[in-house]
């Protein structure tokens, strides 16, 4: 549901497969970065 709401506010010129792929990859990168930082935080 949240993804649908976010997607509905994106302009049509940004609703291309390339932009969606890059956005998805960016979310994955941020997620891994967050997990790594959390592991380092709890290690020390």
Q: Where are the chain's structural domains? A: 7-42
Instruction: Please state the pTM of the whole predicted model.
Output: 0.54
Q: What is the pLDDT of residue 27?
A: 92
Contact 26, 19 (CB under 8 A): no
Report the run of H or E that residue 24 belongs to, with start and end.
helix 17-43
8 vs 11 pLDDT, higher one: 11
pLDDT-derived band of residue 40, with 50, 70 and 90 as boundaries?
confident
Each as own residue / partner, the long-range contacts of residues 18-26 (CB below 8 Å, 24 or more positions apart, any chain) are none
Question: pLDDT for 12-33, tens place per residue?
Answer: 777 688 888 888 999 999 999 9
Q: What is the pLDDT of residue 32?
A: 92
């Amino acid at each position: 549901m949240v993804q649908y709401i976010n997607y509905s506010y994106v302009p049509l010129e940004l609703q291309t497969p390339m932009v969606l792929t890059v956005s998805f990859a960016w979310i994955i990168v941020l997620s891994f970065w967050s997990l790594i930082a959390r592991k380092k935080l709890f290690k020390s």
